[in-house]
């Protein structure tokens, strides 16, 4: 029994919207970073679903590289969050006016 591609697309849309809501509503930097990762994983679900549907490995290879870049992004992001926490003792986005003009 094969699963229709529409199921994957609906799952991906739900995961992406969950991440989008997390980015727009939350003020905690760590939650925002996790929400961005959810959005990236939703696109990865799409890549794998279409790769499987069209019997092409290109989407799966792209997901492998995207996960590698995402892991590096998380490492750099957490390092920045730790540096900001040490300077302000807070991880609330509203407390940081550092990058504003």
**pLDDT tens, position by position, 12-38:** 999 999 999 999 998 888 898 899 999
Residue 59 pLDDT: 92
Report the largest interatomic distance among the alpha carbons of the chain, rounded to a whole angstrom. 57
Residue 4 pLDDT: 93
Q: Please state, in angstroms and as integers, the Cα–Cα distance from residue 45 to each residue in 27, 51, 64, following that order.
A: 27, 10, 12
Domains of the chain: 5-94 (1.10.287.3510)
Handedness of CA 40, 46, 49, 51 (dihedral sign): negative
Cα Rg of the chain, angstroms: 17
pTM: 0.83
Residue 101 pLDDT: 57
Residue 57 pLDDT: 94
- The residues of the chain scoring below 50 in pLDDT are none
């Amino acid at each position: 029994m094969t699963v229709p591609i529409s199921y994957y697309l609906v799952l991906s849309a739900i995961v992406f919207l969950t991440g989008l809501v997390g980015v727009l509503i939350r003020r905690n930097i760590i939650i925002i970073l996790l929400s961005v990762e959810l959005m990236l994983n939703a696109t990865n679900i799409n890549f794998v679903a279409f790769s499987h549907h069209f019997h092409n490995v290109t989407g799966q290879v792209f997901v492998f590289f995207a996960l590698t870049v995402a892991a590096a992004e998380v490492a750099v992001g957490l390092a920045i969050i730790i540096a900001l926490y040490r300077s302000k003792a807070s991880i609330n986005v509203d407390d940081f006016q550092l990058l504003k003009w």
